[in-house]
Amino acid sequence: MAAPVTPVVSAQWLAKAVISKLVGPKLRILDSSWYLPKTNRVAREEFNQKHIPGASFFDIDDCCDKSSQYDHMLPTSSDFSRYVGDLGIGNDTHVVVYDTSDFGSYTAPRLWWMFRVFGHGSVSVLDGGLKNWLAEGHPVTSDCSKPERRDFQAELNQSWVKSFEDVMENIKTKKVQVVDSRSSGRFQGTEPEPREDVLPGHFPETINMPFTSFLDSTGKHHGPETLAQLFKEAGVDLKKPLWASCGSGVTACHVILAAYRLGYSGVGLYDGSWGEFFKRAPPEYIISEGEGKKE
């Protein structure tokens, strides 16, 4: 496996790599954009219109466990290996991931985490995403070229993936801190969930840290000092076990990325997150200040 690299890279650094024609078998750029249907944004169509030169599109709804009723759950190691290999990525490739969201960073940390959970440490998030890439005047293109296939061997670190059963057990034992990265309204139950068959709220013993709090006003990731302060203010002790959750296992990865940048790499992800928990948990485990209650 390639050696770990800096988890966040600047647009300036990546632009220099693009200009120097370093994008290839040793450096791959992936657009991991994804949007909920009601946003009326289609990530792949946007990619076809403009993307960072040399980038490929990674569809988290395509590379997932399609047998699951829950959104974009982790694929098998073999499916991930095949999908990533088709994008010209080998085990010695440095992968840089970004997305096109107005937040600056939204789904990119999810793909960063996917590579890491499958044993690939050589992966970085582009700081500020396409939003800042464009703001800094770097080029985009509509040209698409399919990279030559490479062999990629994924090895899943199962200990980083948490299940509904793990979460239910932890509600009883309280051994692990759990951070939920959804907006405070969705967490409290006062704003609707984006999925129509799920009501807002949270499960017991959860700390709310909206993923947007990890980003500055331009959409770039906060530095280590600010991140440490954020965790401290939320009452999270990074020296103790920590898991992350959200709506469907995407923005929770902002929590994992932030902790990793502070030197903590073993944070678990509840992959099913609130979308699964709401559907499977007994009503007394649903905490909500909102009107709607689970029947």
Is-contact 88 28, C-beta < 8 A?
yes
247 Cβ partners below 8 Å, 6+ apart? Answer: 182, 186, 193, 194, 195, 198, 273, 274, 275
What is the predicted pLDDT for the residue at 157?
96
What is the predicted pLDDT for the residue at 103?
96
Task: Name which of 39, 146, 149, 135 is nearest 85 in CA terms.
Answer: 149
CA atoms of 101 and 130, how far apart (whole Å): 8
Q: What is the mean pLDDT of the chain?
A: 93
Is-contact 133 16, C-beta < 8 A?
no
Say yes or no: 177 and 251 in one domain.
yes
Check residue 176 and report its DSSP letter. S
Is-contact 110 60, C-beta < 8 A?
yes
Q: 3 pLDDT exceeds 70? A: no
Task: Name which of 281, 74, 270 is nearest 177 in CA terms.
Answer: 270
Give percent of the chain with pLDDT exceeding 70.
Answer: 96
Q: Which of 156, 187, 207 delimits the end of a domain?
A: 156
Res. 9 pLDDT band, cuts 50 70 90: very high
Q: 4 pLDDT exceeds 60? A: no
Instruction: Please write the tens of the pLDDT for every residue from 188-236.
Output: 999 999 888 899 999 999 999 999 999 999 999 999 999 999 999 999 9
What is the predicted pLDDT for the residue at 1?
41
> Which region holds residue 2: left if phi is over 0, alpha if psi is between -120 and 50, else beta?
beta
User: Active site includes 63?
Assistant: no
Asked if residue 198 is part of any domain, the answer here is: yes
Q: 123 pLDDT exceeds 60? A: yes
Asked if residue 292 is part of any domain, the answer here is: no
Q: Which of 108, 131, 156 delimits the end of a domain?
A: 156
Is-contact 87 58, C-beta < 8 A?
yes
Instruction: Please write the tens of the pLDDT for every residue from 66-119.
Output: 787 767 768 999 999 999 999 999 999 999 999 999 999 999 999 999 999 999
Task: Name which of 87, 8, 79, 9 is nearest 55 in CA terms.
Answer: 87
**H-run or E-run covering 171:** helix 164-173
What is the predicted pLDDT for the residue at 291?
67
Alpha carbon of residue 262 to chain centroid: 17
The residue segments making up the domain with residue 84 are 8-156
Say yes or no: 151 and 163 in one domain.
no
Res. 2 pLDDT band, cuts 50 70 90: very low
Say yes or no: 102 and 241 in one domain.
no
Q: How many domains does the chain have?
A: 2
Asked if residue 59 is part of any domain, the answer here is: yes
CATH of the domain at 201: 3.40.250.10
CA atoms of 217 and 97, how far apart (whole Å): 20
Q: 54 pLDDT exceeds 70? A: yes
Q: Which of 156, 171, 197 delimits the end of a domain?
A: 156
Mean pLDDT of 38-52: 92
Q: 294 pLDDT exceeds 60? A: no
- DSSP E strand stretches across the chain: 8-9, 27-31, 56-57, 94-98, 123-126, 161-162, 177-180, 206-208, 242-245, 268-270
Say yes or no: 138 and 42 in one domain.
yes
CA atoms of 276 and 108, how far apart (whole Å): 22
Say yes or no: 83 and 28 in one domain.
yes
Strand bridging mode 206-208 / 268-270: unpaired
Please name the residue that has the structure tokens 């496996």.
Answer: 1
- Which position has the higher pLDDT, 162 or 38? 162
Say yes or no: 168 and 268 in one domain.
yes
- The vertex-35 CA angle with 31 and 37, nearest 5°, equals 145
Beta-bridge partners for 126: 9
Backbone angles phi, psi at 13, to 5 degrees: -60, -45
Instruction: Please write the tens of the pLDDT for every residue from 10-37.
Output: 999 999 999 999 999 999 999 999 987 7
Say yes or no: 140 and 176 in one domain.
no
Q: Check 63, 64, 144, 246 and give the catalytic one.
A: 246
Q: 272 pLDDT exceeds 50? A: yes
